[in-house]
């Protein structure tokens, strides 16, 4: 029973970390990254469809994203969706391919993106702390119902705290790496 709570806690902490990495991949760093446009949805036959499902996304140059749609008729809708996503880029099209040139970031914009990254990291830390709280309550309930001993309770609470600390340390390391990537000129 305690092992189930611990396993569930570990998986939820890992999910929080994975969610943060996904959020970070969408942040602009001054380099072209296909993940910048992955989450953009395009109206395709009346249905919002992720842009990555409508074409091939590549980075032929360090500052350029190239999107080759499977169906060229959706090019105009892709263009609109990218502009609406407010990424700070303007796509160009030649009728077959969409090209996005990623401009250099100025110092102020870099600081804003770092601030956003810190906010996202803090939100995931809060999520991890909520997971810890829920796990602690579940273990305490097991002890209250006399399903585990007091010693087992203390060991479980310690393991939950260590798992949470490990998850938060991973978030801090990821944030530090992302901050360095964003601030690099």
Q: Where are the domains of the chain?
A: 2-25+106-183, 35-101
Q: Residue 16: which H helix or E strand, with range?
A: helix 2-25
Q: What is the DSSP string of 119-181?
A: HHHHHHHHHHHHHHHHHHHHHHHHHHTTSS-HHHHHHHHHHHHHHHHHHHHHHHHHHHHHHHH
Looking at the domain 35-101, which fold is it? Gyrase A; domain 2 (3.30.1360)
Whose CA is closest to 166, among 123, 118, 132, 142?
132
Q: Where are the alpha helices (DSSP H) in 26-106?
A: 35-38, 75-84
Backbone angles phi, psi at 137, to 5 degrees: -65, -40
Q: Which residue has the tokens 């502009």?
A: 83
Whose CA is closest to 77, among 108, 102, 46?
46
Q: CA 109, CA 115: separation in Å to the nearest integer?
A: 10
Q: What is the pLDDT of residue 27?
A: 77
Q: CA 82, CA 90: separation in Å to the nearest integer?
A: 8
Q: CA 168, CA 122: separation in Å to the nearest integer?
A: 9
Overall CATH class of domain 2-25+106-183? mainly alpha
Q: What is the pLDDT of residue 16?
A: 93
- Give the pLDDT of the chain (185 residues) as one tens digit per residue: 888 989 999 999 999 999 999 888 877 677 788 888 887 899 888 899 999 899 999 999 888 999 999 998 899 899 999 888 877 788 999 889 999 988 887 888 888 889 989 999 999 999 999 999 999 999 999 888 888 888 999 999 999 999 999 999 999 999 999 999 888 76
- Is 55 in contact with 77 (CB distance < 8 Å)? no
Q: Which residue has the tokens 């611990």?
A: 6
Q: What is the pLDDT of residue 107?
A: 86
């Amino acid at each position: 029973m305690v092992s189930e709570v611990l396993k569930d806690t570990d998986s939820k902490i890992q999910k929080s970390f994975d969610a943060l990495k996904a959020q970070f991949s969408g942040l602009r760093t001054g380099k072209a990254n296909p993940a910048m446009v992955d989450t953009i949805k395009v109206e395709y036959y009346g249905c919002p469809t992720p842009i990555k499902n409508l074409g091939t996304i590549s980075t032929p140059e360090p500052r350029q994203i190239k999107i080759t749609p499977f169906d060229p008729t959706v090019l105009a809708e892709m263009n609109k969706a990218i502009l609406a996503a407010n990424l700070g880029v303007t796509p160009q099209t030649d009728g077959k391919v969409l090209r996005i040139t990623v401009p250099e970031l100025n110092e102020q914009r870099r600081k804003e993106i770092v601030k956003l990254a810190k906010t996202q990291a803090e939100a995931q830390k809060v999520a991890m702390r909520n997971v810890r709280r829920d796990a602690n309550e579940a273990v305490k309930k097991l002890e209250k119902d006399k399903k585990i001993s007091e010693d087992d309770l203390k060991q479980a609470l310690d393991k939950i705290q260590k798992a949470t600390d490990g998850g938060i340390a991973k978030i801090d390391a990821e944030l530090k790496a992302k901050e360095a990537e964003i601030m690099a000129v």
